[in-house]
Structure 1
Amino acid sequence: MKTFVLGGGCFWCLDAVYQMTRGVESVVSGYTGGALPNPTYEQICTGMTGHAEVVAVTFDESIIPEEIILDMFFVQHDPTTLNRQGHDVGTQYRSVMYFSDAEQETAFRAAIERNQPLWADPIVTEVTAQEKIYPAEHYHQDFYAQRPEVGYCQVIINPKIAKVRKHYAAWLTA
């Protein structure tokens, strides 16, 4: 098993896609990259904590290659916008990859290079050393699966799922 910690805007979006990906064993939404210990969602939303909304994606490499996990990351959010994803604005929504070792750092940088040709603008995704991850509140975990009828899910998440499905349908379970 391998775990990647990725931030690409609201963690609900990343969580939704990875929860339906073959070979993914778990997805935990959380916060990392800031100085405040045990932050709350309300504190994160101020943009003053330094934390990013992230998901820790644990997957089985014998089922899904790490390159697919990473390439899906670059399809489901816009890695060319600094500190923003659509209407979600602030450093908490930055595009970021937290590596746990040199091997992951190399894989993350290779994924950026591999995916840059898909984007007209430069990818601004940060690649930085992993810090302590604070799990988000329970109501953020598996948000989409529990509330697919919510407006945010319908308007923001569903198009991202459709985009990933267009390119990676063979890797999705739903």
Structure 2
Amino acid sequence: MTSSEIRASTAQSRIMCFYCGDCVDVFRDAIGQLPKMKQRIEDLETSTKELKSKLNSDQTKTYAQVTADTKNLKNQVAELKEAVKAIIESLNSNIPDINIKVSRIDKPTDYKIRPLRATFNTPDEAKQILRNKRNLNNNIKSDRTPIQRQFPNSLVEELERRTAK
């Protein structure tokens, strides 16, 4: 053995004199567990990379879904606006198409069709449509507040309560 090899082997087996036997055992156990800890760290880094890649792919899918939903929503709004324009044309009204804003009332549900709300720039345009609504088979009503919408339901409930007695 060369002198450098001898120094290296004595350095590895060297123990400082102020350590007790229990402390030396703890250090040896800790040094023995270092490869396990390194492997655990590598495993955690690998799983973290997998989770990050999954998260990125999920975000990409979400963005694609939002884009598709936005396109569908634009198509739906255009279709609704065309339906309202057709109704207005059937009434022979001279209301410009630019002024019409169309939206749905309430939240979407599977069991009922949500009513349309057509908003015009001036009250005169809305009054003109409401005056001519008898000429249509469609159900056109002026906008009602939530309390006004709830009132007929409360009357039906009251009637059912009274007839049940």
If the length of structure 1 is used for normalisation, what is the TM-score? 0.26
Report the TM-score, using the length of structure 2 for normalisation.
0.27
Normalized per residue, which structure has more strand? 1
The structure in which a higher percent of residues are helix is 2
Whose RCO is larger (CA < 8 A, sep 6+)?
A: 1
